[in-house]
Structure 1
Amino acid sequence: MSNFRQYEDAIALYHNSLSIKTVPVYSWDFHNDFVCVIKNFFADLNKLNAIALQNKWAQNNWDLKNSLKEEVIVVTDVTLKIVFASHNMETMNGYTAKEVLGKSPKMFQGEATNQITSSEIRKAILHQQPFEKTVMNYKKNGEVYVCLIKGFPVFNSKGELRHYIAFEKAA
């Protein structure tokens, strides 16, 4: 039995001499938040890739991986109903992806939203052209925020309009 005691003492001495110490339990919250962000990133990327594959999106030059890290991505169908919203939308405006699915992006507009800018966006959508506009949108709590939107029509490999995709970030 004394051999086990000597072994345990040697292991304890070794671990106590290491410069790396254990992490306090309260840091688990930080780690868990990070893991959730990573899981949401890959879930969003997989959903976007599935939508693109299912609808046979034509080749484009979007860097979805970096965009998902830095921006909110919203995809609407041709009737402008939201079919995808990235998880980081909640950080930008307080809405979860589930809360916005099936709704129009107009839900973010309000009294402070410039109608001329909205009209220019509608015109670009009608003509199936890309646009880049800064708009005044509303968070879930009613607070106004400035949002830079880069919108693009998405065509399939046959050249048919399938979706619109918008890359958004608070300006």
Structure 2
Amino acid sequence: MRAIIQRVSSASCEVEETITGEIQQGFLILLGIEEADTEEDLVWLAQKISNLRIFGDEAGLMNKSLQDIGGNILLISQFTLFAQTKKGNRPSFIRAAKPNHAKPLYEHMIHYLSELIGRQVASGIFGATMKIALVNEGPVTLIMDTKDKDNH
């Protein structure tokens, strides 16, 4: 699993002119799932995200977590995070999980993150064409990959 995490002051997702998810301060997370991803990957990533300290404290240092500030999450499924661009000019998405594997993991991530932060996670619609709007605060953008979980 690969996640792009952006610290935002606001973010929203629109599908066919309808807002499917909208948050104020918190994280916009683009989540890519590949065939090799497991429930263990999901748990590790969700726990890292929920405890990530990238919000400013009184001294302006990144010491506060999402829970500390009462922030929210907008989670968007993003299979293109596993694009292979080494050959040619048209990306290959062969590493991205097929919907029958990715959709249940994506939906479980929504529920698990909601449990961890104590608030409903906003989301897009799996497989839909979405329009994402955001105000990246900082800007702060992090990339996390579950392949790194064993590399302390």
Q: TM-score, normalised by structure 2?
A: 0.23
* Larger relative contact order (CA 8 Å, sep ≥ 6): 2
The structure with the greater share of residues assigned to helix is 1
Larger radius of gyration: 1
Q: TM-score, normalised by structure 1?
A: 0.22
The structure with the greater share of residues assigned to strand is 2
